[in-house]
């Protein structure tokens, strides 16, 4: 049975998620954020065995601890091809703006298409949802959508940073609308929600 933990990470209160199998303790980490120590502490407390690290997009508040995590556990980092350059460019990943230039080593796995992938313990679907950034993705595992900064409770991610495009983001929401209304949405910031609630209350889904 799969379980999910989340950790509030860094000054932007980014949501890091850990999906793991209850018996084997094998795990996927999604967007470790700025506070790698908190993420590692949670992994060690639960005695987890990480297999994969995924970035939903390339902004530094989601990627800052990538190298710390993958060096600690010797696991690959995955990101969409359209955001790969953001890892190594502090101006594009937004970190120079707050005076903390951040460079991340190249990703090991490059998502270049949508579809179902798998680890040794679970399958997950990659959904390309550009708009917040060119390479923004959502990760669907069972009925949980790890949405990065594509959609928040009653809102959407900003589109005024590098690679952002409002019209693209609105189009990306059309992909999310096709999922089951019972889908739980775990955003990159803020509270959890459901697709059913967002279809009812989030005006951006109806543009």
Structure confidence at residue 31 (pLDDT): 98
At residue 182, the pLDDT reads 98
Who's near 159: CB < 8 A, 6+ residues apart? 131, 132, 165, 166, 168, 169
Tokens (6 digits) for 135: 């390479």
Q: What is the pLDDT of residue 196?
A: 98
* Helical (H) or strand (E) element with 119: none
Using CB atoms within 10 A of its CB, is residue 115 exposed (0-12), middle (13-18) or buried (19+)? exposed
Domains of the chain, with CATH numbers? 2-206 (3.60.15.10)
How many whole angstroms from its chain centre is CA 44?
21
Contact 201, 154 (CB under 8 A): yes
* 108 neighbors 76 (Cβ within 8 angstroms): yes
pLDDT at res. 194 = 98
**pLDDT for the residue numbered 206:** 85
Q: Rounded CA gap, 144 and 142, in Å?
A: 6
What was the pLDDT predicted at 113?
93
Reported as a single tens digit per residue, the pLDDT across 107-160 is 999 999 999 999 999 999 999 999 999 999 999 999 999 999 999 999 999 999
Q: What is the pLDDT of residue 97?
A: 82
For residue 186, the 8-state DSSP code is E
Residue 28, pLDDT score? 98
Coil vs helix vs strand at 187: strand
Which residue ranges of the chain lie beneath pLDDT 70? none
Determine the pLDDT at residue 39.
Answer: 97
CA distance 77 to 158: 24
């Amino acid at each position: 049975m799969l379980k999910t933990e989340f950790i509030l990470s860094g000054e932007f209160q980014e949501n890091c998620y850990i999906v793991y199998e209850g018996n084997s303790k094998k795990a996927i980490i999604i967007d470790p954020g700025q506070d790698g120590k908190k993420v590692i502490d949670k992994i060690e407390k639960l005695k987890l065995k990480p297999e994969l690290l995924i970035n939903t997009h390339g902004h530094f508040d989601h990627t800052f601890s990538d190298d710390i995590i993958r060096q600690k556990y010797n696991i690959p980092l995955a990101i969409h091809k359209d955001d790969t350059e953001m890892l190594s460019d502090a101006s594009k990943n937004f970190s120079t703006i707050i005076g903390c230039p951040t460079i991340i080593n190249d990703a090991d796995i490059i998502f270049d298409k949508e579809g179902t992938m798998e680890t040794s313990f679970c399958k997950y679907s990659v959904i390309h949802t550009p708009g917040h950034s060119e390479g923004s993705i959502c990760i669907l595992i069972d009925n949980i959508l790890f949405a990065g900064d594509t959609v928040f409770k009653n809102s959407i991610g900003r589109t005024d940073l590098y690679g952002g495009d409002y019209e693209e983001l609105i189009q990306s929401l059309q992909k999310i609308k096709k999922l089951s209304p019972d889908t739980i949405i775990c955003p990159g910031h803020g509270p959890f929600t459901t697709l059913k609630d967002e279809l009812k209350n989030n005006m951006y889904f109806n543009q």
